[in-house]
Chain A
Amino acid sequence: DAKTTQPNSMESNEEEPVHLPCNHSTISGTDYIHWYRQLPSQGPEYVIHGLTSNVNNRMASLAIAEDRKSSTLILHRATLRDAAVYYCILPSGAGSYQLTFGKGTKLSVIP
């Protein structure tokens, strides 16, 4: 299974952009890149996913390197509500895919 590497923690000022990096150097050509986040005392929630092209949705943007060995989740204007643990995941499994959560990046947002 392809593994991901993320910084343990990051800080951002409120209303500033945040760039959360993820390395996945062993990614295969068919691996999608997913991002989830977990707010304190809640279950994880989906943020965004992509395969090759950069992706945008109402929550964030996903920038994928041309060689796909790394990606960056971009929060355009961090709010206090964005303080959470962010997980970069490459779903894998015997044919039907499972989400394997690592330690993620704990994002703190400073008012």
Chain B
Amino acid sequence: EADIYQTPRYLVIGTGKKITLECSQTMGHDKMYWYQQDPGMELHLIHYSYGVNSTEKGDLSSESTVSRIRTEHFPLTLESARPSHTSQYLCASSGSVMAHTEAFFGQGTRLTVV
């Protein structure tokens, strides 16, 4: 079983609210990632981190921000939620460069902004 957890699993929130999606892993992995996936569509990388105090933007532009203050924790924040942010957000981690090992994914947070 993967030891990577996302909370909440489901979130319905009003436009303009600030939200933080939590992602934690207990495997001591340096590498962590956030993906966004609309229903029936592909996953797109929006943020990644290769260690504490390291964050980079992914291929898909996103208005969200991330932080990496502790190895095990990689939260994603939306300062002002909009209906266009409605999507599923998936967090992942890996212990090494992905070419040589597997990545572990959380169950995802399904966000609906009304």
Residues of A within 8 A of B (CB): 30-32, 34, 36, 42-46, 49, 91, 96-104
A98 contacts B98, C-beta separation under 8 Å:
yes
Using a Cβ cutoff of 8 Å, how many contacts connect chains A and B?
56
B98 contacts A97, C-beta separation under 8 Å:
yes
A98 contacts B107, C-beta separation under 8 Å:
no
Chain A: minimal CB distance from B74 (Å) = 14
B97 contacts A97, C-beta separation under 8 Å:
yes
A-B pairs with beta carbons under 8 Å apart, 25 shown = A30-B99, A32-B99, A32-B100, A34-B98, A36-B103, A42-B108, A43-B90, A43-B107, A43-B108, A44-B103, A44-B105, A45-B105, A46-B103, A49-B102, A91-B97, A91-B98, A91-B99, A96-B98, A97-B98, A98-B59, A98-B98, A99-B103, A101-B42, A102-B42, A104-B42
Find chain A residues with CB under 8 A from B45 CB. Answer: 98-100
B102 contacts A46, C-beta separation under 8 Å:
yes
A48 nearest in chain B by CB position: B102
Interface of A is mostly: loop
B90 contacts A44, C-beta separation under 8 Å:
yes
B105 contacts A43, C-beta separation under 8 Å:
yes
A43 contacts B99, C-beta separation under 8 Å:
no
Given the interface pairs A100-B59, A103-B42, the reply to whether A43 lies near B98 with Cβ below 8 Å is no
